[in-house]
Amino acid sequence: MKRILAADIGGTTCKLGVFTPDLELLDKWEIPTDTTDEGSRILEDIHQSFKSKGDDHELNLAGVIGIGLGVPGPVDFNNGILNGAINLNWMEQKPIVSEFESISGIRTIVDNDANVAALGEQFKGAGSGHKDVVMVTLGTGVGGGVVSNSMLIHGHGGAAGEIGHLYVDYNRRFQCNCGKKGCLETVASATGMKNLAVHYYESGMTDTLLKNGIEAGTLSAKSIVEAGEKDDALALKVIDEVAHYIAVALSSLSAVTNPKYFILGGGVSRAGRMLTDRIEAYYRPITFPPAYENTEIVMAELGNDAGIYGAARLVKQFLA
């Protein structure tokens, strides 16, 4: 029986899935990600977990078409090498494809986790039925993926789709993990929301429901959204500014990629219409009209399953 395997490797858990050749999901589960000893057991643990499901899904080496892996770091898609993943305690370059093929004997393909999530949403989620989508993942940082004509765009060094590092804050107020200032990630992620809230609090907006969280160092993006729902002036200013910066980024992306859908995922996107209505209000007035005509800004639909669907799709596209 032919099967496709998929794994979305995260810093806390690995999401695993078994698919038919037609990409019907047969089973999914999670295992803890063991990052001890420089993450040396992660790939072996994934292999052993799939082996443990062998009888349930008639898995055997000859019947597995391939496995797709999503990993939280920059990937050279052409040679299957990961350029480090701090969340996994993989601090150096890691030849993921050759290592997993050596462990399992299964043909392997690997890509960045935000890329595979984008491909999953394009194939099975909010972008289903359309070939051109951009996904923006608003979490602790900002990730993303660009799908054009149903194929992920990687660029010559694998950095295409690094939406979080678009230059949008011309005041260059906050330091990004990449070493630069002005990146979208510094003003539109969960971290970015906290950056802005603290900045405006220290600038004099001290009459706020967020006061205790800011002074205690316990402020979260969730608390900012909840305060915004109660019409807190500081929280609404932060949410409005976040929306403006996202709109600036989407406007630039529209002129380059012209997608049918911008798909928003990640924890910050749970702000829902309070965020997307503001993004829409800023986006269209600053965007080249032919680039946004019939473009929609929508929420992701697959949640934690997006990565395994996208990883399985990679196998179908390149290994089947």
* CATH of residue 179: 3.30.420.40
User: Are residues 51 and 136 located together in one domain of the fold?
Assistant: no
Does residue 37 belong to any structural domain of this protein?
yes
**194 CB-near residues (< 8 Å, 6+ apart):** 219, 220, 221, 224
Which pLDDT score is estimated for 267?
A: 87
One domain for residues 149 and 81: no
**Which region among 3-7, 70-74, 227-231, 249-253 has the lowest average model confidence (pLDDT)?**
70-74
Q: Report, as an integer, the average pLDDT of 48-73.
A: 87
In a shared domain, residues 312 and 289: no
Residue among 52, 64, 55 nearest 19 (CA): 64
Residue 230, SS3?
Answer: coil
How far apart are alpha carbons 30 and 17 in whole angstroms? 9
In a domain, 95, yes or no: yes
The answer on 212 and 75 residing in a single domain is: no
Asked whether residue 150 falls in the same domain as residue 266, the answer is yes
Q: pTM for the complete prediction?
A: 0.91
**Structure confidence by residue, pLDDT tens digits, 214-269:** 999 999 999 999 999 999 999 999 999 999 999 999 999 999 999 999 999 988 88
Question: Could you tell me if residue 220 is inside a domain?
Answer: yes
Is 86 contained in some domain? Answer: yes
The answer to whether residue 190 sits within a structural domain is yes
State phi, psi for 244 to the nearest 5 degrees: -65, -45
Range of the domain at 193: 129-300
Q: How confident is the model at residue 57 (pLDDT cuts 50, 70, 90)?
A: low
Average pLDDT, the chain: 95
Whether 82 has a pLDDT exceeding 80, the answer reads yes
Q: Which residues of 77-113 are buried (b: 16+ CB within 10 A; e: fewer)?
A: beebbbeebebbbbeeebebbebbbeebebbbbbbbb
Q: Residue 91 falls within a domain, yes or no?
A: yes
* pLDDT value, residue 177: 86
Pair 85, 150 in one domain: no
What ranges in the chain are assigned the alpha helix state H? 36-39, 42-52, 54-57, 96-104, 113-124, 185-188, 190-202, 211-216, 221-229, 233-257, 273-283, 289-292, 306-318
Tell me, yes or no, whether 98 and 170 share the same domain.
no
124 belongs to a structural domain: no
Smallest CA-to-CA distance from 100 within 73, 70, 125 is with 70
Distances (CA, A) of 302 to 115, 122, 126, 142, 177: 14, 10, 8, 18, 28
Give yes or no: residues 160 and 290 share one domain. yes
pLDDT value for 54? 79
Does residue 107 sit in the same domain as residue 195?
A: no
Are both 149 and 195 inside the same structural domain?
A: yes
Distance in angstroms (rounded) separating the CA atoms of residues 161 and 148? 11
User: Is residue 169 one of the residues assigned to a domain?
Assistant: yes
Q: What pLDDT sits at residue 220?
A: 96
The answer to whether residues 20 and 152 belong to one domain is no
* pLDDT band with cut points at 50, 70 and 90 for residue 62: confident
- Asked if 161 and 281 sit in the same domain, the reply is yes
Q: How many domains does the chain have?
A: 2
Instruction: Note the pLDDT tens digit of each residue in 113-133.
Output: 999 999 999 999 999 999 999
Percentage of residues in the chain having pLDDT higher than 70: 99
Give 167-206 pLDDT, tens digit per residue.
999 999 999 989 999 999 999 999 999 999 999 999 999 9
